Amino acid sequence: MKKLAILIIFLLILPSVLFSAKGKVKNSATVPENTDIHYTGKYCSVCHEKTPVKGGNKFLKFGGDFTQLCKCHGYRPGAYIHPAGVVPSEEKRKKIPMDFPLKDGRISCSTCHDIYLQCRKNPRYKIINRRFLRGAPYVSRTTLCFRCHDKKKYRKLDPHNQLTEKGAIIVDKCLYCHVEKPDEKTATFKEVKLIGNLEALCFR
């Protein structure tokens, strides 16, 4: 009878023990560097000193410096697709959506990334919005870019469209690959001067 009572007590306690272990917030000191902490809802202490206050202090480590908070992704020239800490021009500022917040008037990681979105456990969003971009999912990455940038100013140049409507040669297009415009009537291939390796020019 005594053994049965102990077994019943054990079975009653076990679910709560398992639940607390499952829902426990991981300490940053115990999180391996290769752990993907996003969309798990249990690695708060990696970025926060203590539980953040809704609408108030977030208690972020490193004074909220995202270059330190997101150091897993590296921070060196050329590592990030967009500069952070820059003040957008008046022209750009007018085009930035209201739900793309600036930090002290400057572009920060949280301007394009909804940081809080990945703090919660959400396996579905981890698939459709892995990088927790604001307004995602997008058809392509540039769709996000053109919410702030003027698409017309970023059109790729077609160097092969070399003639005007009247059939005249557009010299500037020639200089995209050539040191100087060759004589299209007499120049041989050996006489053509290119600005670099032919194969590299064709694939850029």
How crowded is the C-beta side of 140, counted as CA atoms within 13 Å?
4
Cα–Cα dist 120/174, whole Å: 54
Which pTM was predicted? 0.61
Do 41 and 115 share a domain, yes or no?
Answer: yes
Do 104 and 173 share a domain, yes or no?
Answer: no
Do 97 and 174 share a domain, yes or no?
Answer: no
Between 138 and 12, where is the model more confident?
138
In a 3-state reduction of DSSP, which class is residue 150? coil
64-75: pLDDT as tens digits:
888 788 877 766
Do 139 and 161 share a domain, yes or no?
Answer: no
Do 129 and 176 share a domain, yes or no?
Answer: no
Radius of gyration of the chain (CA): 28
Q: What range does the domain containing 160 cover?
A: 156-204
Do 50 and 72 share a domain, yes or no?
Answer: yes
Q: Please check the confidence at residue 21 and state whether its pLDDT lies above 70.
A: no
What pLDDT, on a 0 to 100 scale, did the predictor assign at position 18? 39
181-204: pLDDT as tens digits:
999 889 898 888 898 888 888 876
31-86: pLDDT as tens digits:
887 888 999 998 999 999 998 888 889 999 988 888 788 877 766 655 667 888 89
Do 147 and 51 share a domain, yes or no?
Answer: yes
Confirm whether 14 is domain-assigned. Answer: no
Q: Which residue is it, tokens 């390796």? A: 197
Contacts of 79 (CB under 8 A, 6+ apart): 73
Q: Please check the confidence at residue 177 and state whether its pLDDT lies above 80.
A: yes
Which residues is 70 bridged to in the sheet?
none
132-142: pLDDT as tens digits:
999 999 998 88
Q: Please check the confidence at residue 11 and state whether its pLDDT lies above 60.
A: no
Do 62 and 144 share a domain, yes or no?
Answer: yes
In a 3-state reduction of DSSP, which class is residue 113? strand
What pLDDT, on a 0 to 100 scale, did the predictor assign at position 28? 59
Do 141 and 58 share a domain, yes or no?
Answer: yes
**CA angle, residues 136, 142, 145, in degrees to nearest 5:** 80
What pLDDT, on a 0 to 100 scale, did the predictor assign at position 99? 95
In a 3-state reduction of DSSP, which class is residue 178? strand
Do 160 and 147 share a domain, yes or no?
Answer: no
Do 33 and 65 share a domain, yes or no?
Answer: yes
For the residues 107-122, what does the mean pLDDT come to?
91
Confirm whether 176 is domain-assigned. Answer: yes
What pLDDT, on a 0 to 100 scale, did the predictor assign at position 19? 36
Domain count, the chain: 2
Cα–Cα dist 113/32, whole Å: 24
